[in-house]
Copies of this chain bind each other. A is one copy, B any other.
Amino acid sequence: MAAAGKHRDAILTESIRLFRQKGYAATGLADILAASGAPKGSLYHYFPGGKVEIGAKAVEIAGRTVTRTLETLAEISDGPGDLVARYLEMLAGWLIQSGYRDGCPITTTLLETVPEHQSIREAGSVAFAGWARVLTDAALRAGISEARAVRLAHFAIAALEGALIQCRVSGSDEPLKLAAAELSALYEAAQKV
């Protein structure tokens, strides 16, 4: 990778981290530059759309990382309930390790910017759709009907997003454990139909 690409990647990596922990509005371009070590000129060179373009790209990349993690877990999981439980356990580990700072990598930015910034909103939609697709596929492979698989996928994402908020506020991983247990039970019930 060229040195130039290195700066671009560093800007995005640090943006994802800062947006996740501090939020989008509280993260200034100066913070991103300082954390990434990229020269000032590189910012508008790579992101002529400025902060909004960085925000959309950060949501896109972070969302895709989650999709890939889910795909990897799907390969080693014993069905959709186990997949969701494994992923929520992983999320709980990251939360604890970060002192309850690392919640969802895209939610805070999305809540701060939609519907005003369409490009960020679209990146969020694509991310959620990607996660739902992996969960839906896992449910289909377990013999769950397509209609039920799609509904459970979106509901599972809602529950995990909400549980992440509860964990950050309570400083406990109990909400994620509870969501994992409830969602696993729902998937088990759906497999028996």
Contacts and interface: CB of A to CB of B under 8 A. Distances in A.
A166 interface: yes
Given A25-B25, A26-B112, A151-B182, A157 B168 contact: no
A100 B114 contact: yes
What's the dominant secondary structure at chain A's contact region?
Answer: helix
Contacts of A107: 111, 165
Given A108-B111, A115-B101, A158 B179 contact: yes
A23 B112 contact: yes
Interface stretch (A6-14, A33-41, A71-79, A170-178): A170-178
Question: Which bucket holds chain A's interface residue count?
Answer: 35 or more
Contacts of A139: none
A154 B169 contact: no
Nearest to A158: B162
A47 interface: no
A23 B111 contact: yes
A103 interface: yes
B157 A160 contact: no
A94 interface: no
Interface of A: 22-26, 99-101, 103, 107-108, 110-112, 114-115, 121, 124-125, 128, 151, 154-155, 157-163, 165-166, 168-171, 175, 178-179, 182, 186
